[in-house]
Amino acid sequence: MPNIETLRHSLAHILAVVVRELFPGTKFGIGPVIENGFYYDFDFSEVKVINSKLQNPNSKQIQNSNVKNSKQKFILNPNDLPKIEKKMREIIKRDITFQKQIISKEQAKKLFKDQTYKLELINELKEKKATIYKSGDFIDLCRGPHVESAKKINPEAFKLTKIAGAYWRGDEKNPMLTRIYGVAFTSKKDLDNYLKNLEEAEKRDHRQLGQKLDLFHLDEEFGAGLPLWHPKGALLRQIIEDYWTSEHLKNGYELLRTPHIARLGLWQKSGHWDFYRENIYSPMDIEKEKYIIKPMNCPGHILVYKTKIRSYRDLPLRWAELGTVYRYERSGVLHGLTRARGFTQDDAHTFCAPEQLGQEIISTLKFGLKMLKIFGFKEYDIYLSTRPQKYVGILKNWEKATEALEYALKKQGLKYQIDPGEGVFYGPKIDIKIKDSLGRAWQCTTIQVDFNLPEKFAITYIDQKGKKQQPIMIHRALLGSLERFVGVLLEHYAGSLPVWLSPVQVQIIPVGSRHNKYAQKVANSFGSPSPKYLGEGLPKLRFEVKNENETVSKKIREGELQKIPYMLVVGDKEEKNKSVRVRDRKKGDLGMMKIDKFIEKIQKEIESKK
């Protein structure tokens, strides 16, 4: 069995063989292996005759409106991919070979004289010779390796997945080519599994769920990477924030609030301006002073620390802030809530004496893992990230900090991996990546030890002997950011959030308009007549009464699409028995239940946070 990457790359060649046959005049880019598959880039701009075998009278040409000044002809359509696949299978069955030949650069230039992109690659070759591979009439400039013969490829275990525009060598100054992507495995079973997972992941895409469930959206008019929260989404955030706040207060934290902008000088002093500048937005002028929008919350917390003389008796000080920060991310890497330009960190800074450090890291770790478990994440990978190339501070302190983190992990019996050089510029860190229900890893918790900011800002405390000492600072976020965490929650639960987190927990559905009054009565028994707001007179349950003039089945269907945990249908029989007919979003009809019984059932579920 050949190596899977060799298999995938060989398929890229076979794709090129078919494209060459179908579209004479095609110019070839490159065809590398990627995760799970391969792609090949083609330039169709000089293709004159479009092979009639492939022409689909119904297919519209793809117009990529995002791409300006592109002369690229998109002569393919996703509907054409199965036909190309079929031709690839024919070639595999014909069992073409991959013949390696080493020729001089001059010969190669002659051979590829009409292939602009290949010529560019030949000119950049450091060696004097070029390696080419011949498969049938198709010759490619390539180092290999490939399968010896196409027979080794399972013709049923690959699939072409999509077509996209891609700039030659990823540079927008270059021409846009047509990229055809494929996935390939050794068995059909693996391929089917992969495709099934992909479909499942698409269903769980938080960006789509955000719109479907009316939680948030991203708006080009507002700006890329800046999510806008709708009422239900903002309520979901508030529920998380309320829980987070009360847990922090219980765990000995105090809350701070710091503004969104601060003078540039502060960030120069902290080192962020030197070490983190590529993520910071340009300064703005306010009365001849330069200010920046904050990328982190730390310096503000340090200035609060400095307002008083602190004694060893005051330590540790644990200060938490749901602090919104803004960081520059290239538009190409933005991804819904999980990679945004503005987000709210569930941040905290602990100031402690050196002898308290070990215990503080342990309790922070425990707190973080407990929090993640409550939200339903029980599996994770832990990383210990060490000193990066660009750093501040002295080596001895870096060592001490790294040892303290490692000590805590060992003491807790947690498995971890070392991530060399991935620490922050001011200190090493522990990162926890949670695994969602599809086994995908998401970075959430981070715990960072810092000797450097305390030194830069010269913060001190008075020890038992009355001497000035420098405290150590721990930076930490447990959920990461609220935006990202909500995105992960939505994907993990495929939108079906646990009852305690659901913005709407119950929907009451009157069978006919004559049952509206009873439906309202049921609603009133849930607590407050004003379900939309939190605070005083808090309803026991968050509910909606669906009294629109629509059929019951349609309302139930909509409720299911909205992933509402419970729907209560009320008609004559229910009214007579002071009951409701309970529908669980997963289990379906649970039958009739007295109102009190239902309230008791759902309250239990909410309290257990399951």
Q: How far is the CB of 240 from Zn ion (least distance, A)?
A: 21
Q: Do the annotations mark residue 475 as ligand-binding?
A: yes
Question: 268-289: b or e for each residue (b if 16 or more CB lie within 10 Å)?
Answer: eebbbbebbeeebeebeeeeee
- Determine the Cα–Cα distance for residues 398 and 534; give it in Å rounded to an integer: 46
Provide, rounded to whole angstroms, the least separation between the CB of residue 424 and Zn ion: 9
Q: What is the rounded CA–CA span in Å between residue 370 and residue 364?
A: 10
Decide if residue 30 touches Zn ion (CB under 5 A): no
- Least spacing, CB of residue 220 vs Zn ion, in Å: 32
Residue 354 DSSP class: G
Q: Which stretch binds Zn ion (CB under 5 A): 142-150, 201-209, 307-315, 522-530?
A: 142-150
**Smaller CB separation from Zn ion, 350 or 386:** 350
Whichever of 74 and 98 has its CB closer to Zn ion, that residue is: 98
| Sole window of 99-107, 403-411, 472-480, 504-512 interacting with Zn ion (rule: CB under 5 A) | 472-480
How is 415-475 classified by DSSP, letter by letter?
A: --EEETT-SBTTB-EEEEEEE-TTS-EEEEEEEEEESHHHHHTT--EE-TTS-EEPPEEEE
In degrees and rounded to multiples of 5, residue 488 shows phi and psi of -65, -45
Kindly indicate which of the ranges 38-46, 237-245, 473-481, 541-549 contains the residues binding Zn ion, using the contact rule CB under 5 A. Answer: 473-481
- Nearest by Cα to 429 from 413, 443, 449, 410: 449
Backbone angle region of 336, left / alpha / beta, with phi > 0 → left and psi within -120 to 50 → alpha: left
Rounded to whole angstroms, what are the CA distances from 17 to 21, 110, 135, 136, 139?
Answer: 6, 20, 8, 8, 9
Residue number, 100 or 609, with CB nearest to Zn ion: 100
| Minimum gap (Å) between residue 301 Cβ and Zn ion | 7
12/315 with CB nearer Zn ion: 12
118/206 with CB nearer Zn ion: 118
**Whole-number Å distance between alpha carbons of 331 and 344:** 19
Instruction: Choose one: 77-85, 189-197, 352-360, 467-475; the region binding Zn ion (CB under 5 A).
Output: 467-475
Between 142 and 490, CB nearer to Zn ion = 142
Interface positions, 293-352, toward Zn ion (CB under 5 A): 298
Backbone angles phi, psi at 174, to 5 degrees: -85, 165
The minimum distance between CB 453 and Zn ion, in angstroms, equals 8
Determine the interface stretch with Zn ion among 135-143, 244-252, 308-316, 353-361 (rule: CB under 5 A): 135-143
Which residue in the set 33, 142, 382, 568 belongs to the binding site for Zn ion (CB under 5 A)? 142
**Per-residue CA distances from 72 to 17, 283, 316, 341 (Å):** 21, 39, 62, 32
Task: Map tokens 């306010």 to a residue.
Answer: 286
Q: In whole angstroms, give the CA distance from residue 382 to residue 378.
A: 12
Query: CB within 8 A of 274, min separation 6: which ones?
Result: 268
Q: Footprint of Zn ion on residues 171-190 (CB under 5 A)?
A: none
Closest distance to Zn ion from the beta carbon of 121 (Å): 12
272 in contact with Zn ion (CB under 5 A): no
Per CB under 5 A, 475 contacts Zn ion: yes
Site size toward Zn ion (CB under 5 A) is 3
| Rounded least distance, CB 21 to Zn ion, Å | 18
Report how far residue 476's alpha carbon sits from residue 349's, in angstroms, rounded to the nearest whole number: 6
Residues classed as catalytic: 298, 327, 345, 347, 349, 429, 475
Among 197, 240, 196, 226, residue whose Cα is nearest residue 444:
240
The Cα–Cα gap between 426 and 270 comes to: 9
Q: Which stretch binds Zn ion (CB under 5 A): 219-227, 253-261, 291-299, 498-506?
A: 291-299
Task: Name the minimum Å distance from CB 189 to Zn ion.
Answer: 27
Cβ proximity to Zn ion: between 84 and 142 the closer is 142
* Cα–Cα dist 510/547, whole Å: 6
Amino acid 334 reads L
Amino acid at 301: H
Comparing CB distances to Zn ion, the nearer of 475 and 583 is: 475
Q: Please report, in range form, the residues annotated as the binding site.
A: 298, 349, 475
Which amino acids are annotated as binding site for Zn(2+), given as ranges? 298, 349, 475
Contact residues: Zn ion, CB under 5 A: 142, 298, 475
